Amino acid sequence: MHFSFQLRFASQATVTGLLTCLLLAGCGEQAPAPSEPLAAAVDDTAMEHAAKHLDPKYVCPMHPQIVRDEPGSCPICGMALVEKLMDPMTGKHPDVGLSGAVIQSMGVRTAKAELGTLWKDARAVGRVDYDETRIAHVHPRAEGWIEGLSLRAEGEPVEKGQELAQLYAPKILSAQVDFLLSLEPRHRGVAGVTGDKARNLLRLLDVPDAVIREIERTHETRNRVPVLAPIDGVVTRMTAREGMYVRKSSEMFTIADLSRVWVLVDVFEHQIDWIEPGLTAEIRATAHPGKTWEGVVDYLYPELDPKTRTLRVRLVFPNTDLALKPNMFTDVVIYGGPKKGVLKIPREALIVTGERSSVVRALGDGRFQPVDVVSGMQRGNEVEILSGLAEGDEIVVSGQFLIDSESSLQASFMRMSEAGNAEAASPSDTRTQHGR
């Protein structure tokens, strides 16, 4: 903090000096001579400029809280005060020096940051589910009684047009009578009843066309009409029972087409940036070792799970042999293609604390320094680095947590020392506060 203040003070002083020179020159007065030629200062960094122009401070080597603006002796031990040098590591992560024996005992290993290719893929566990676009619910179009049940239990496969049950409904029987009357020449068009209208009414009551043609051919009504399966599939729910009275709201059968299924998978937040509909996916099931299914990403759900912080993704897979069963678990891989020219490091080198992501860079000669980085995509044992490192930087992949902790401890001591120096530099203020 002290060093940051010095830099800001130096920058403000420089700007103030320049403005003063310009104002004096505009007023016709002689501007003060600059402290150094412009050519000598143009290439200076903020650190170098501040070091040249800030007033030096003198501290006691034995008592760092003693800080003076001029040379002298320490009032505690009498030692000569020495000039305090500006520490370039103040406000950063100090480097840590380790001997060769300590490096060997800690098992410190290093690797280099390098450019390469990361294959974008997401691996997770998925769950097979019904394709909800291929589910049919069978309800009666009129109230009545089930008087003939063709199915025995749930789970039976059915084909489109297969008879499921026989239904007796007074409203359907009355519609058949109106249809027969509309077919007779003397009743044709009477009371607005026409053949087409009566036939269409039977279709709306879900009477099959084959039954309508039979009624038209025999001129006889049928007390019971068949209930047919609307699609191919498996009966997943069956509430109809022999002799049961059913209403329009009664769901007699539910049929699911399993020739195509969904696989629902939860992916982590750092993977959803590149996942989109149309990407290729692959699954494997424990129940069928060695067999794989290829499908596509169909849909990304609009919200994340608040507890697991994952996003649900829906995949679609063909299932012509019906080997994939609903609620079966699968191993899922979603492929997103290669990402080239990526600066990557081993994943084990990355330190994530929740507040920052960092790595420990090896400086050589047993010196190490933590460096904050911004990480990107992760795949397997590799992670992308967006900023903070350069190609060829050597980083620690084993033992970095101890080095980072030692650096943080040193930074804490430095901040405490700066706070003590600031307090010792204004003893009169402290006495004034106590006097109040």
Alpha-helical regions (H) of 137-250? 170-183, 195-204, 209-218
Q: What percent of the chain has pLDDT over 90?
A: 45
The whole-number average pLDDT for the span 207-227 is 93
The reported pLDDT for the residue numbered 49 is: 57
Residues 391/115, Cβ–Cβ less than 8 Å: yes
The reported pLDDT for the residue numbered 377 is: 80
In angstroms, the CA 32 to CA 21 distance is 7
Give the max Cα distance, the chain.
Answer: 134
Edge-to-edge strand ranges of the sheet holding 58-59: 67-68, 58-59, 82-83
- What are 43's two structure tokens? 């290439």
Stretch among 5-9, 180-184, 316-320 having the lowest mean pLDDT: 5-9
Alpha-helical regions (H) of 184-280? 195-204, 209-218
Model confidence at 99: pLDDT above 90: no
Q: Which has the closest alpha carbon to 256: 112, 114, 157?
A: 157
- What are 165's two structure tokens? 């049950």
Tell me, what amino acid is at 216? E
Q: Which has the closest alpha carbon to 316: 258, 272, 274?
A: 258
Strands 260-268 and 394-398: unpaired
- What are 135's two structure tokens? 């589910």
The reported pLDDT for the residue numbered 284 is: 95
Q: Which has the closest alpha carbon to 150: 224, 222, 205, 208?
A: 224
Average pLDDT of the chain, as a whole number: 81
The reported pLDDT for the residue numbered 430 is: 42
The reported pLDDT for the residue numbered 409 is: 73
The reported pLDDT for the residue numbered 416 is: 64
Give the model confidence (pLDDT) of 319-335 as tens digits: 999 999 999 999 999 99
In angstroms, the CA 342 to CA 142 distance is 66
196 phi/psi in degrees, rounded to 5: -65, -40
The whole-number average pLDDT for the span 39-61 is 61
The reported pLDDT for the residue numbered 249 is: 94
Residues 322/114, Cβ–Cβ less than 8 Å: no
- Residue 229 burial (CB < 10 Å; 0-12/13-18/19+)? buried
CA distances from 94 to 62, 113, 406, 408, 409 (A): 22, 21, 9, 8, 9
Which of 16-30, 184-198, 200-214, 376-390 reaches the highest mean pLDDT? 200-214
The reported pLDDT for the residue numbered 119 is: 83
**In the chain, what are the domains?**
2-90 (no CATH), 97-116+341-413 (2.40.420.20), 121-132+258-338 (2.40.30.170), 136-256 (2.40.50.100)
The reported pLDDT for the residue numbered 420 is: 58
In angstroms, the CA 329 to CA 350 distance is 32
3-state secondary structure at position 193? coil
In angstroms, the CA 130 to CA 259 distance is 10
In angstroms, the CA 230 to CA 253 distance is 11
Stretch among 82-86, 197-201, 301-305, 417-421 having the lowest mean pLDDT: 417-421
The single-letter DSSP state of residue 1 is: -
Give the model confidence (pLDDT) of 54-65 as tens digits: 567 787 777 767
Place of tokens 């007796």: 168
Stretch among 34-48, 335-349, 372-386 having the lowest mean pLDDT: 34-48
Quick one: pLDDT band at residue 423, thresholds 50, 70, 90?
A: low
The reported pLDDT for the residue numbered 15 is: 42
The reported pLDDT for the residue numbered 41 is: 57
Residues 86/76, Cβ–Cβ less than 8 Å: no
Contact partners, residue 125, CB within 8 Å, separation at least 6: 265, 329, 330, 331, 332
The reported pLDDT for the residue numbered 117 is: 86
Which of 182-196, 253-267, 376-390, 417-431 reaches the highest mean pLDDT? 253-267
Contact partners, residue 415, CB within 8 Å, separation at least 6: 1
Give the model confidence (pLDDT) of 221-230 as tens digits: 999 999 999 9
How many of the other CB atoms lie within 10 Å of CB of 329?
A: 14
The reported pLDDT for the residue numbered 30 is: 52
How many of the other CB atoms lie within 10 Å of CB of 233?
A: 21
In angstroms, the CA 138 to CA 255 distance is 8
In angstroms, the CA 436 to CA 422 distance is 21
Place of tokens 């089930």: 146
CA distances from 20 to 15, 54, 101, 180, 368 (A): 9, 19, 58, 109, 45
How many of the other CB atoms lie within 10 Å of CB of 287?
A: 12
The reported pLDDT for the residue numbered 357 is: 87
Model confidence at 276: pLDDT above 50: yes
Model confidence at 36: pLDDT above 50: yes
The reported pLDDT for the residue numbered 10 is: 42
Q: What percent of the chain has pLDDT over 70?
A: 76
